[in-house]
Amino acid sequence: MSQRRVVVTGMGIVSPVGSTIDTAWDAICNGRSGINTINSFDADHMKTRIAGEVIDFDVSKYLSPRESKRLDEFIHYGYAAAVDALEDSGLLNADSTYDPERIGCALGSGIGGLNTIETATQAYMQGGPRKVGPFFIPGSITNMIGGFLSIKYNLKGPSLAVVTACSTATHNMGLAARMIQYGEADVMVAGGAEFATTLTSMSGFISARAMSTRNDAPAEASRPWDEDRDGFVLSNGAGVLILEEMEHAKNRGATIYGEVAGFGMSADAFHMTAPPDDGEGAARCMRIALKDAKVNPQDVNYINAHGTSTPLGDLAETIAIKTTFADHAYKVAVSSSKSMTGHLLGAAGGVEAIFSLLGIRDGILPPTINLENPSDGCDLDFVPNTAREADVNIAISNSFGFGGTNGSLVFRKFTD
């Protein structure tokens, strides 16, 4: 039996550059940064005082006051992006019918409900156990994006929340696609969400010396591959795709953004936070994804890189691309949308998959902004500072996480 094909029929986004597909894509195409001074809490005492916060999101469009109060902000973002993606897919149209047992969720978060955990801890310390509310646990656990979504929309297919740090969304999407390929579902709502700009999260990343301290110029802080990069910028948001079996999508006349052609995973088996210098795990991950897609390296037009703006990570990924693509590495366009969005951790792969698919749809290569002086060894075509028109048939989206976990998705322009 031939393997079932998986296509993308809906998208939803909540991000520092916009919380609709059109506004976010317009910002990316025009090189506008969503990084600014932190407004949600007083960060004046911190070494890093910048982040990619979501500023145009209205939770009341999606949840009642009672519901939103019970759920952590990462669930707000993930649920909203999922609802928008379902609406975009047409599955929620009045004339739409679907088998609820054939639609599932794969929606994760790298950190989960840390803000709710901090609040509950403070309540306990101030007043004891009775001050911790009954919705503390269900309102903060990672799988509750899909859990709440399935309850609201009667989605009775597989429901899971893979948690793999910064690879979370990519792994959820890839594994969801495989469930469709092997007949376990016809539709999967897949991606990731994050609300990580909290006091303890920021403090932990600052202690690890992982984040940029370019506080006086927030929009210039995330600068992948640039000589002056000094760490990543922490951000919040969500990115969700509707993945659907091809014939199921065609039979209901769905709009198809592209095809999920391949998926790869690997482990560095090297270090808790740092990649190996030669990027071996990342290279192996991309090769696995290309093999799964039955795609030759020279056929890839664009790579949406992990590209976090860290000194070690950017160089290791560059070397991994050279290892994987050989001479073609200098011909394929590579860019980092994190230069504009910052790093959304477990949601990063979701928003970057969206930008990869929109690049295929519109024939546009997203830029890497703030790339003024590429550092030694970072000598690929990083689409510096300005978006570029190009025919994009095949794109790769990379996500690499703490613990040495790697994920790559191959997207292809859809043709029958």
**Cα–Cα dist 412/393, whole Å:** 6
Contact 118, 198 (CB under 8 A): yes
Q: Does 343 participate in catalysis according to the annotation?
A: yes
For residue 170, give the nearest of 63, 288, 89 by alpha carbon: 288
Catalytic residue among 166, 171, 248, 378: 166
Residue 145, SS3 per DSSP: helix
**Cα–Cα dist 220/216, whole Å:** 9
| CA atoms 132, 135, 140, 143: torsion sign | positive
Look up residue 328 and give its two tokens: 């073609």
In the block, tokens 């990543």 appear at: 232
Q: Does 105 participate in catalysis according to the annotation?
A: no
Q: Does 248 participate in catalysis according to the annotation?
A: no
Tell me the CA distances in angstroms from 73 to 61, 143, 199, 395, one per residue in order. 14, 14, 14, 31
Catalytic residue among 29, 171, 306, 378: 306
For residue 134, give the nearest of 123, 150, 148, 146 by alpha carbon: 123
Catalytic residue among 105, 248, 343, 378: 343
Active-site residues, by number, are 166, 306, 343
